[in-house]
Amino acid sequence: MKEEKTKPVIPIQRCYPEDYLVHQVRAHYLEGGELPVQEFCIRFRKDTGMVMYSNACTLMSFEQYEDGKVAVRFIGRITETMQTKQQKNARYIMLRFPPQYMFEKLKGVVNQEIYLDLEDFGGEEAVRMAMETTDPSERFEMLMKLITDSRLHFWMSDIVNQFVKNSMGETRYLSLEELIAHITYTPRYVRDIIKEYTGISAKRLYDILRLQSIMEVQLEDSGNVMDCVYDFGFYDQTHLNKNIKKLTGLTYSAFRQVLKEKNR
């Protein structure tokens, strides 16, 4: 497993730098993975409502509160902007898994946050021990072992993996139909599998992945808005605005400002 810390990080929430006591991010590549599992280590200055934007990824949040108690919260794929609550001074270690990674027991969960049974992860002491490990790499390994050994049945979907890789690995924009045609199964089967396991349609997954690609471009380069329009297959700026508005509730310019503030 390799680790990378220099890649731009896509925000998972709308919070600003002054909201954090601690905000650390690492990227870890699982065996054979093309996209990293991002690890967010966070502590907030005050009780906070995080605004979560549309994202095909899932979050596994390991949490330790001021009284020492621990919890594990699963945040399913987000198809519309939603808010989650975080406590002041609680310690959060959030692992964000790319779309192709699945939890069989939580198959198809969208727009939900679910507190899980600690016994699924070996019990309270096992979770606490992993969270309190001071070496970041060792801590990540321990948390991943709790997940892979858990009753959630963690695995990677080859079909969803091909769809995601094809959408992000091309040098030119591909339509949804072209992406599906690259996969060695019938289009109907591909659509059915994506819907069954992610809980969202292939079209919705496609739109969200395109949004994430736009976010990455905006983090790396301020760019020209019209370049962004044509690079991602939009007809014009109005078409881009409509798509961003549908996914985030914000105009493109407002969303771009949020990214700049979040990552300043």
Query: Which pLDDT band holds residue 250 (cuts at 50, 70, 90)?
Result: confident
Helix (H) or strand (E) holding 79: none
Q: What is the pLDDT of residue 119?
A: 97
**pLDDT greater than 90 at residue 242:** no
Q: What is the pLDDT of residue 88?
A: 92
- Burial class from Cβ neighbours inside 10 Å (0-12, 13-18, 19+) for residue 119 reads exposed
What does the pLDDT look like over 81-104, one tens digit per residue?
788 899 999 999 999 999 999 999
Q: What is the pLDDT of residue 6?
A: 43
Phi/psi of residue 99, nearest 5 degrees = -60, -30
Alpha carbon distance 260, 258 (integer Å): 5
Q: What is the pLDDT of residue 60?
A: 96
Residues 62, 116: contact at Cβ < 8 Å?
no
* Of 22, 8, 7, 16, residue with least CA distance to 262: 16
Residues of the chain with pLDDT > 90, as a percent, come to 46
**Least confident stretch, 91-105, 127-141, 165-179, 190-204:** 165-179
* Of 64, 51, 33, residue with least CA distance to 165: 33
pTM reported for the whole predicted model:
0.83
Q: Which residue has the higher pLDDT, 120 or 30?
A: 120
Query: Which pLDDT band holds residue 221 (cuts at 50, 70, 90)?
Result: low
CATH topology of domain 157-262: Arc Repressor Mutant, subunit A (1.10.10)
Alpha carbon distance 4, 29 (integer Å): 8
